């Protein structure tokens, strides 16, 4: 059946619409006034019966071709739980009015079909049918009620499309996350082996020329970068699928930060790192994950500032009783626009992308780790003057 008009059957106002639309379709086809009235009356009788039992009925009026003959068809559906039989008054009158009338169960619904043959003299064809569809698609609403109804239908359709888009987007995102996780694991193993062999080769005293050692050093540095990148991809995958886990333990903050800073000093020897500690404070953290946060923030401070410039790390207890760690550099700084987006996943400033490598994952992961420790992270910065990244952690109560 080629659909021409569709109306949901919810209340008595829809009964009026069903009658008028049935008349109009029959009129546009070219049927006589008597035939128009007969068809519309049959539709109205069944529509009334459906509306009396449910507000989830539906009427579709269309055309059906059987060999060379076309028929005008009214298809009316309603819930499977509603039981009518042909002895009901509406059914009785409708059956008397149309040549073909039958009740079937289709697609989990009851459906009534009423058909009237269209005289061959009216010469229906695909061109006329398309013109008929266009007429009703473009026609103005019959009244204010139909206008509201059409708008609601349009909104429901749009909402359904958006819901389907979200569903598809979620599926694609889940597949992407799974791919990243699998690919990262597959890549990490051979890279780790390459790094191990590189370090073994460097340890062969007297068996490698100075030139080979320089090359091995470069390979070692690049594999370290690649392993870090792969780990970040794995972390993002875990964050998105909800498997990012922590092993928290109570830790003395000063000793923990001092230990990490001493290690980082060897990694970035071209900067002067100063550390200011606070009073003895204990925090409950996943030490490995919190080391990841500090390494990222201090590493960024070195990455975006000139050699031999200072990096200051300060531990304090703020006025809310939280432990606060601040990393300050004298680097390139950032704009207010960048500050707003700096912790977003994969965010990179356009100008910085031209001069500094990276994928914009480190700060996103750091912000997630801090948030999962019930802390906050933020940045204060001015272009050309440097940046101060700060984050807080709840301090553990002091035992008495």
Instruction: Give CA–CA dist 145/20, Å, rounded.
Output: 13
**DSSP summary character for residue 205:** T
Instruction: Give CA–CA dist 331/321, Å, rounded.
Output: 30
- Inform me whether the pLDDT recorded for 392 exceeds 90: yes
Mean pLDDT of all residues in 330-337:
91
Q: What is the reported pLDDT for 75?
A: 94
First-residue to last-residue Cα distance in the chain = 83
CATH architecture of 249-394: 2-Layer Sandwich (3.30)
Tokens of 323: 């432990």
**CATH of region 2-139:** 3.30.565.10
* Domains of the chain by residue range: 2-139, 161-241, 249-394
Residue-wise pLDDT for 19-59, tens only, equals 998 999 999 999 999 999 999 999 999 998 888 888 889 99
Among the ranges given (101-105, 324-328, 387-391), the one the predictor scored with the smallest mean pLDDT: 101-105
Q: Helices (DSSP H) in 203-252: which residue ranges?
A: 210-241
Domains 2-139 and 249-394 share a fold: yes
Residue-wise pLDDT for 359-377, tens only, equals 778 899 999 999 999 999 9
Give the confidence band of 398 by pLDDT, cuts at 50, 70, 90. low
Tokens of 171: 């599926």
Listed in sequence order, the residues at least 6 apart from 215 whose beta carbon sits closer than 8 Å to its beta carbon are none
Residue-wise pLDDT for 2-26, tens only, equals 999 998 888 888 888 889 989 999 9
What's the CATH number of domain 161-241, 3.30.70, 4.10.860, 1.10.287, 1.10.10?
1.10.287
Range among 188-202, 212-226, 266-280 with highest mean pLDDT value: 266-280
Give the confidence band of 399 by pLDDT, cuts at 50, 70, 90. low
- Asked whether the beta carbons of 54 and 78 are under 8 A apart, the reply is yes
């Amino acid at each position: 059946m080629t659909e021409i008009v569709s109306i949901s059957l919810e209340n008595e106002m829809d009964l009026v619409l069903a009658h008028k639309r049935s008349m109009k379709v029959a009129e546009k086809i070219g049927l006589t006034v008597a035939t128009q009235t007969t068809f519309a009356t049959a539709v109205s009788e069944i529509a009334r019966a459906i509306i009396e039992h449910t507000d989830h009925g539906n009427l579709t009026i269309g055309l059906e071709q059987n060999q060379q003959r076309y028929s005008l068809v009214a298809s009316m559906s309603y819930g499977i739980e509603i039981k009518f039989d042909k002895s009901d008054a509406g059914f009785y009158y409708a059956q008397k009015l149309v040549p073909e009338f039958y009740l079937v169960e289709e697609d989990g619904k009851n459906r009534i079909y009423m058909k009237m043959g269209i005289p061959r003299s009216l010469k229906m064809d695909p061109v006329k049918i398309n013109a008929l569809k266009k007429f009703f698609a473009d026609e103005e609403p019959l009244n204010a009620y139909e206008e509201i109804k059409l708008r609601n239908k349009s909104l429901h359709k749009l909402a359904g499309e958006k819901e389907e888009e979200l569903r598809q987007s979620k599926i694609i995102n889940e597949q992407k996350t799974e791919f990243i996780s699998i690919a990262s694991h597959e890549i990490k193993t051979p890279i780790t082996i390459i790094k191990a062999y590189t370090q073994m080769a460097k340890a062969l005293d007297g068996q490698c020329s100075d030139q080979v050692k320089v090359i091995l050093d470069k390979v070692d540095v690049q594999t370290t970068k690649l392993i870090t990148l792969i780990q970040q991809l794995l972390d993002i995958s875990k964050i998105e699928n909800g498997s990012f886990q922590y092993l928290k333990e109570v830790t003395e903050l000063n000793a923990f930060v001092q230990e990490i800073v001493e290690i980082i000093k060897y990694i970035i020897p071209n900067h002067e790192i100063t550390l200011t500690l606070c009073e003895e404070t204990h925090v409950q953290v996943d030490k490995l994950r919190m080391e990841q946060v500090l390494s990222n923030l201090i590493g960024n401070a070195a990455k975006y500032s000139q050699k031999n410039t200072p990096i200051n790390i300060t531990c304090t207890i703020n006025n809310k009783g939280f432990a606060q760690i601040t990393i300050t550099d004298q680097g390139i700084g950032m704009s207010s626009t960048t500050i707003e987006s700096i912790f977003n996943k994969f965010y990179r400033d356009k100008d910085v992308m031209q001069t500094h490598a990276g994928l914009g994952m480190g700060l996103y992961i750091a912000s997630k780790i801090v948030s999962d420790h019930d802390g906050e992270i933020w940045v204060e910065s001015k272009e050309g003057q440097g940046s101060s990244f700060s984050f807080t952690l709840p301090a553990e109560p002091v035992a008495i």
